[in-house]
Amino acid sequence: DGFKRAKSAIGGETALSEANIQEAVREIRVSLLEADVELGVVKTFLERVKSRAIGELVQTEVKHKGTKVKRSPGEHFVRICHNELEKLMGSVEEVPIIYRRPFTTIMLVGLQGTGKTTTAAKLAKYLLNEKRKPLLVAADIYRPAAVEQLQTLGAQLNVPVFHQPDLSPPQLCADALREAKKRKRDVIIFDTAGRLAIDDTLMGELEEIKERTNPTNTFLVCDAMAGQDTVKSASEFNRRIDISGFILTKIDGDARGGAALSIREITKKPVKFLGVGEGVEALEPFRPEGLASRILG
Amino acid sequence: IFTSGASLKDEMVDELEEALLSADVGVRMAMEFCDRVREDIKQKRVKDSGDIQQALRAYLSTCFNGAAKNGFPHTSEKPHVVLFVGVNGAGKTTTIGKIASQLAAENKNIVLAAGDTFRAAAAEQLEIWSQRTNAKLIRGEAGVDPASVIFNALSHAKESGVDYVLADTAGRLHTKSELMDELQKIRRVAGKACEGAPHDVWLVVDATMGQNALQQAKEFHDALGLTGVVLTKLDGTARGGIVVSIAHTLKLPILFVGVGEQADDLRPFVPENFVESLFA
Ligand SMILES: Nc1nc2c(ncn2[C@@H]2O[C@H](COP(=O)(O)OP(=O)(O)OP(=O)(O)O)[C@@H](O)[C@H]2O)c(=O)[nH]1
Ligand SMILES: Nc1nc2c(ncn2[C@@H]2O[C@H](COP(=O)(O)OP(=O)(O)OP(=O)(O)O)[C@@H](O)[C@H]2O)c(=O)[nH]1
Ligand SMILES: [Mg+2]
Ligand SMILES: [Mg+2]
């Protein structure tokens, strides 16, 4: 084995080893933590990539834009990490919204202030572009002027907003299905109140909405600037209401967005959309390449 | 057998380092403090494992020494103007509501300035808080220049002997230079309307924020000169460790913590309790 390694070194090749990638592993660990990737996820991700990479034969020199450049084992390891990260973040053909007849339902959930109400309007705009007929449902009865916020956004888009005073959120969502049928809308978007994952009563409310309306899509709306705790709340939301995917908002800032990797790794659910600004057109179906480089930094 | 004592202490430091990292304390800062403790152990400055957590606690507590200010500013200026700034969804508008509620309980005369003229139903949201707290609301039409609302609010407050003006602004990412320019204009206009205003500029930070919060704080501080920080959503599981770096690097006082969505869910920030919670 030592001979094989020496021989391949003479031939411009070397094998990746624990020793020659140690420095790179350390640097990537710090980089991922600074990118807000969850501590446990950093460990398991690096262990997995190391076990895949160690023993692999790599070129000590590579052709880069026509000239020969040296590439160290550490640099090779960084490339392997990048590829693994991209693979992890999911494939592009992931269809962002699952449609169903006679109507599709989308339930938006998440912690306080992550961008659910704004995202509901953005999804309505996206659906209009897809030649669908969305109906927005203002099911946040707690936050001051939450209903007005969604109604204002709906009016700007010429999309109807369903709300009735004195109804509980589960009742509102159930009644919305009838409303959609009446108004011949084919996609219904439920905007729910922000809540803590540890709030048993409010998490129960989400379970009840889910039970009564059986939504086709349940999206967890997460802030791209979120830190280590995001995995805890995301896995709790997933455990209680089985999310179909998540939407990462405020990616137009300079937060590295490592929360996306953590949530993906722990829940195994895909990123569906990215929120890239405050306007209603600022929503993009998810693409993994950009995010992988940003997280690795 | 001889090394087991040393490795037990090393393990303890490793565990504490992980606790700090999981609490969103700055990565470099957490590693640096833990390296200092590892050195203390080597140099026998730390004798037993009970001292390890104490050593770390001491390092962390020094981060909050740079600014001793605490509690609500009791002031001789009238009106005392506080400008609330921060990124989208951090909890600015709700925090204003909570503070208005506290000041109203002390029989203070308050004006709320609806300086968010951009986001849908922002003024309506603040209006509900003004009704709950008996504060006067000064607002404008949606889309008007926010500086004009601030100007009107301060002019009114000066004429009417108001004690405090709490000025709301739209959430904004620190990476958007035109929005940071807008805040600087609001600041200038406030000073024109009322000499010395804004007397306080408070950054509202969400406890769920990760490492980017330090960059946010730096940019807002460079643009406006912050005088304090409010940490919100501490009633969740996030521990808000990023304020350690913010306090340490920018020497800013952490004034209050938000612990819920209702009017009385605001507490003064207590460094000792906070440092303890990082190890939880
Ligand atoms: N820059 C940026 N801001 C965003 C994005 N998405 C939402 N926002 C802003 O984030 C703030 C909060 O958005 P909301 O839609 O009110 O958030 P929410 O999740 O409905 O809040 P709660 O209902 O209180 O839980 C607002 O200022 C939005 O304009 C985004 O992708 N980029
Ligand atoms: N659990 C909890 N929620 C909070 C706290 N402070 C604010 N919130 C919630 O966070 C969400 C956003 O609060 P806002 O006051 O609208 O935040 P903002 O910074 O004014 O948002 P923009 O103006 O859109 O940038 C609301 O749902 C609030 O009820 C807190 O201390 N704890
Ligand atoms: Mg909302
Ligand atoms: Mg606000």
Which pLDDT band holds residue A8 (cuts at 50, 70, 90)?
Answer: very low
Please give the full DSSP string across B125-139, using - where no structure is assigned. HHHHHHHHHT-EEE-
Please give the full DSSP string across B48-76, using - where no structure is assigned. SHHHHHHHHHHHHHHTTTT----SSPP-S
State the burial class of residue A207 (Cβ atoms within 10 Å of its Cβ: 0-12, 13-18, 19+). Answer: middle
Closest CA to A16 of A61, A74, A68: A74
Contacts of A282 (CB under 8 A, 6+ apart): A122, A252, A275, A276
- Residue A9: its pLDDT value, please? 47
- Residue B66: its pLDDT value, please? 65
Mean pLDDT of the region B100-111: 96
B271 lines ligand 2 (CB under 6 A): no
Average pLDDT, rounded, for chain B: 93
Strand partners, A57: A15
What ligand is nearest to the CA atom of residue B175?
A: 1
> What spacing in Å lies between the alpha carbon of B32 and ligand 3's midpoint?
39
Tokens 């460079």 sit at which residue?
B222
Q: Are B140 and B53 in contact (CB under 8 A)?
A: no
With a cut of 50, say whether residue B12 has pLDDT above it.
yes
With a cut of 60, say whether residue B3 has pLDDT above it.
no
Q: Which residue has the higher pLDDT, A293 or A207?
A: A207
Dihedrals phi, psi of A113, to nearest 5 degrees = 75, 10
- Residue B92: its pLDDT value, please? 98
Q: Which residue of B has its CA nearest to A276?
A: B173
Could you report the per-residue pLDDT of B147-170, keeping only the tens digit for each? 999 999 999 999 999 999 999 999
Q: Are B62 and B94 in contact (CB under 8 A)?
A: no
- Residue B8: its pLDDT value, please? 82
B258 lines ligand 2 (CB under 6 A): yes
Distance (Å) from the alpha carbon of A11 to chain B's nearest alpha carbon: 40
**Whole-number Cα distances in Å, B83 to A192, B17, B96:** 30, 36, 10
Distance (Å) from the alpha carbon of A114 to chain B's nearest alpha carbon: 6
Strand partners, B201: B83
Which tokens in the block code for residue A130?
A: 């897809």
Q: Which residue has the higher pLDDT, A64 or B63?
A: B63
Q: Which chain B residues have a beta carbon less than 8 Å from that of A157?
A: none
* One-letter amino acid for residue A92 of the chain: V
> What spacing in Å lies between the alpha carbon of B87 and ligand 1's midpoint?
10
B213–A229 C-beta distance less than 8 A: no
> What spacing in Å lies between the alpha carbon of A267 and ligand 4's midpoint?
31
A114 near B CB under 8 A: yes
- Which residues fall inside 5 Å of ion ligand 4, going by CB? B 92-93
Could you report the per-residue pLDDT of B26-73, keeping only the tens digit for each? 999 999 999 999 999 888 888 787 888 899 999 999 999 866 565 567
With a cut of 90, say whether residue A4 has pLDDT above it.
no
With a cut of 80, say whether residue B6 has pLDDT above it.
no
Q: How many CB atoms lie within 10 A of CB B86?
A: 27
A282 lines ligand 1 (CB under 6 A): yes
Closest CA to A247 of A111, A153, A139, A83: A111
- Residue A202: its pLDDT value, please? 98
Distance (Å) from the alpha carbon of B129 to chain A's nearest alpha carbon: 8
- Residue B100: its pLDDT value, please? 98
Helix (H, G, I), strand (E, B) or coil at B81: strand
Q: What's the rounded Cα separation, in Å, for the pair A132 and B106?
A: 54
- Residue A133: its pLDDT value, please? 98
Q: Are A28 and A46 in contact (CB under 8 A)?
A: yes
| DSSP tag of A270 | P
Q: What's the rounded Cα separation, in Å, for the pair A258 and A68?
A: 33
User: Which protein residue has the closest C-alpha to ligand 2 atom 6?
Assistant: B91
Q: Which of B128, B208, B235 sits opposite A226 (nearest CB)?
A: B208
Q: Are A253 and B173 in contact (CB under 8 A)?
A: yes
- Residue B280: its pLDDT value, please? 80
Q: Which of A34, A225, A278 sits opposite B209 (nearest CB)?
A: A225
Closest CA to A89 of A263, A250, A274: A263
- Residue A71: its pLDDT value, please? 86
Q: What's the rounded Cα separation, in Å, for the pair A222 and B226?
A: 27
> What spacing in Å lies between the alpha carbon of B89 and ligand 4's midpoint?
7
Q: Which residue has the higher pLDDT, B165 or A287?
A: B165
Interface of A with B in 234-293 (CB under 8 A): 250, 252-256, 258-259, 278
